[in-house]
Structure 1
Amino acid sequence: MSRLDRIAEFAVAVREAWEENRLIRLRLSGYEGEEAELKSVDMRRVVIKGREKISAVSHFKTRDITKNYDFDEVMETLLAKLSTEFRVATLNSVSFDLVLERHGQKVRLKQTEIAGREAPPMEHDRAKNRPLTDGGKLWLQQLDLAGKNGRVRNDAQDKFRQINKMVEIFAPLIQGLDAKNPRIVDMGAGKGYLDFAQQVEIVGVELRDRLVADGNDNAQQSGFSGLSFVQGTILDFDASQADAVIALHACDTATDDAIYQGIKAGAALIAVAPCCHKQIRRQMEAGSADGRLDFLLRHGTFLEKQAEMVTDGLRALLLEANGYRTKVFEFVSDAHTPKNNLIVAQKGGGGSRPAALDRIAAVKAMFGIEKHYLETLLDP
């Protein structure tokens, strides 16, 4: 059977799975086209305004982009893309998985029968990955983001934009977890802005009793049965069953506590938005950095920015050394908050541990750093 015949056979299987309501997911990977930083595309069936569509999430190196298409639009381009742009395609259906692999002019198809798999629900934005509407939600009022009229207050617009952007980022990550009912732990939850916005099962860990009590009251009044808050420190909480660990603006080394808990639990997803970077900055000020960096580090404002980048860069390397692939990017404009970097780590494919450890050692030597706090947790 020729290369084009096998690709056509794969496309027929996709169409049949769609028409029989048996399609779960279609994934294209091994991208080798001209679009910069594109890695893969995940597609699933959704219903939007009563019409069945294909929701396609394109995964780039530092961002994901979601677009919705008619099924026939997808099929028109599938044959061409599998011939020239993607080396691997995977069809997950209710009864079988079908994998297409292209090596030059040769194409291989492998089918694996599956028993007992159910088709996923088709409701759109299952984890609220569309922007929040501006008002009309009780929890917005309870968190003092909206007034009595239900509309978001003018002085809360920046916070509301941050929450929206977080929902946009986190929803596909949570949907991609390999768990029917993923257990998500928010470390240092505070008022739980993101937890309320996500509306999935989340446990918020917070030290302050008042915020814990308020959070549980608000969750109950808003009818969020899957959301709860517990009092305690990040390191004392039992996160062993967590599928995802998140921490938004946990101050200084509290971010490292959350990362450590995620690594220790083997969580599939760890995502943190760091706040404050005092621990590494103090070591950089006291240590002996490479003299070639003096033109930067002798200026306080540059030292502060360098300390932030070095701290988070080392966090990413330590995650990679422990089996995670990482991305670091800005999740909102710095016009809304200066603490706008997000570290996203997903289990698997972290690269070579020895290579990551060598890079960590080299960075510490360059900047005169004795030890990152996260290192002391991972290797006390």
Structure 2
Amino acid sequence: MQNSQITTFFEKLQLHIDNKELVKLTLAGKRDKNSDLKKLIVSPVELKKGYYLNFVYRHNTKDITKNFEITEGIDLLLKLLENDFLNADLFSAKENINLSTLPNGKTLLKFNKPTMTTNLTFTHDKPKERLIDTKDNIYLRELGITNINGDVRREMSDKFKQINQYIELLSPYLNELELTDEFHIADMGSGKGYLTFTLYDYVTNRLKVNIKTTGVEFRQELVDTCNNIAQKADLSGLSFTKGTIEQAELHKIDILIALHACDTATDDAIFRGIKSEAELIVCAPCCHKQIRKAMHVQNELANVTRFGILKERQAEIITDTLRAMILEAYGYKTNVFEFISLEHTPKNVMIVGRKTKGFPRNKQDIFKNISAIKELYGIEKHYLEKLLEI
């Protein structure tokens, strides 16, 4: 793969590292369009054991961070550029360099003036950028997360971390969608509105889409409180209405959110999202009573489910596995992953389904696998199956 442009690029990279002028290096442009690895971000970091390169592997739903010694890191970058990425952008205190791989396989090297020249720092503990700005943020203040000066209250720091992590997890999915002003987000069971306000803020202020968002909540006092806050903050596209997941009158749903809906309420939300042909369905399930009661294991797995706590955990896994598989059967590319670490809340599983054209190709196989799992655990039907009349 080595040619003069690539050789020059890596010679320049080594020079800027040696002179401690490197600010950041990014690899992008996936060679494999189906790869879960979207981007690599590399920055210098000063550790106790010396000067290292910090690699952030940016996947669709998570980031993985690793540190490498300089020589090892450069060798790894060369392999990644050869096998995984088409483009590299180097930002230093002296210059910017872009290395591009053209469709015909040739490489193109461009040099530009530096754009990141100030406040070079190589400490490992850099302040983390937050996607939600606290400055002059009226809704955060009214919700009690920040004080009058815009500082996060100490007792609400975990909540602020939670809402930022929520946006970090959803942002890759939102960025994949071709969002327009015609889109409608429905947040089912919006409660006090922390995450509803946050999502609306991110889409309108960061993504610059004047999207309509409706929070659905059964408790009228919370509906009134949230509507008052939305008016104070001049959030014209955000409103809250009294209703339930099943019965709320919503003429259109493009993105359906249902966080911590208890037991089969999560299934009601998924069902409504599927029937609405929502582009994105996001659920964080809570409680799994239906499958726990429905399990009648008569085989070698009986010992796994004869202890109460283990049966409960097994029921959680089976419930959410079947939900994910049913979503896939209805054309949603589905991920299941951790939402918030256990130190903040025990409700930490998120199911995300993204409507995909031509997916799945093996619908009947998915239904056969669902049936096999149910038979193994002595389950007659998952509640979501009943809603969909499978």
Superposition TM-score, scaled by structure 1 size = 0.68
The residue number in structure 2 matching 1:132 is 132
Q: Tell me, what secondary structure is at the counterpart of 2:320?
A: helix
Q: Report the alpha carbon displacement of residue 40 of structure 1 after superposing the two structures with TM.
A: 4.8
Report the CA distance between 1:191 and its aligned residue.
1.3
**CA–CA distance in 1 between the matches of 2:283 and 2:241?**
19
Aligned to 1:297: 305
Q: Please name the residue that 1:176 is paired with.
A: 176
Cross-structure match for 2:383:
373
Q: Contact between 1:320 and 1:351, CA under 8 Å: does it hold in 2?
A: no
Deviation at 1:130, TM superposition (A): 3.6
Q: Select the residue among 201, 215, 222 that pairs with 1:211.
A: 222
Cα offset, 1:333, TM superposition: 1.0
Secondary structure of the structure 2 residue equivalent to 1:266? coil
Matched residue SS, 2:364: helix
* Structure exhibiting the larger radius of gyration computed from Cα positions: 2
Asked whether the 8 Å contact 1:272–1:342 carries over to 2, the reply is yes
User: Residue 159 of structure 2 aligns to which amino acid in structure 1?
Assistant: K
The Cα shift of 1:138 comes to 2.5
Correspondent of 2:38 among 41, 51, 65: 41
Amino acid at match of 1:39: D
2:203 is aligned with 1:193: no
Q: Secondary structure at the match of 2:248?
A: coil
Identify the residue that residue 361 of structure 1 maps to in structure 2.
Answer: 371
Q: Could you tell me how far 1:213 is from its partner in structure 2?
A: 1.0
Matching residue's letter, 2:38: V
Q: 1:29 to 1:64 in 2, by over 3 A?
A: farther
Between 332-341 and 346-355, report the one with greater CA deviation. 346-355
Look up the SS of the partner of 2:301 in the other structure: helix
Q: Which amino acid aligns with 2:377?
A: F
Structural mapping, 1:8-19, within 5 Å: none
How much has 1:148 moved relative to structure 2?
5.1
The answer on 1:63 being equivalent to 2:62 is: yes
CA distance in 2, matches of 1:269, 1:58: 24
Deviation of 1:311 after TM superposition, in Å, equals 0.7
Unaligned runs of 5+ in 1: 9-25, 33-37, 44-56, 67-76, 90-99, 108-128
In the other structure, the counterpart of 1:11 is none
Uncovered stretches (5+) of structure 2, i.e. residues with no partner: 7-27, 41-55, 66-75, 88-101, 106-128, 204-210
Shift of 1:164: 1.3
Residues 31 and 83 in structure 2, CA contact (< 8 A), matched pair in contact too: no
Which moved further from structure 2: 361-370 or 178-187? 178-187
Is residue 338 of structure 1 aligned with residue 327 of structure 2?
no
RMSD across aligned positions (CA): 3.9
Give 1:106-255 correspondences, 5 Å limit.
130-133=130-133, 137-147=137-147, 150-181=150-181, 182-198=183-199, 199=201, 200=203, 201=211, 202-239=213-250, 241-255=252-266
Percent sequence identity over matched residues? 44
CA contact (8 A) 1:240 1:264 kept: no
Q: CA deviation at 1:65?
A: 7.3
8 Å CA contact 2:60, 2:172 repeated in 1? no
Between the aligned partners of 2:171 and 2:84, the Cα distance in structure 1 is 27
Change in 2 beyond 3 A, CA 1:79/1:335: closer
TM-superposed CA distance for 1:39, in Å, is 2.2
TM normalised by structure 2 equals 0.67
For residues 80 and 172 of structure 1, the distance between their equivalents in structure 2, rounded to whole angstroms, comes to 25
Q: Residues 300 and 41 from structure 1, CA distance in 2 versus in 1: closer, same or farther, beyond 3 angstroms? A: same
Confirm or deny that 1:264 pairs with 2:264.
no
Please tell me the residue identity of whatever aligns with 2:139. Answer: W
**Paired residue for 1:49?**
none
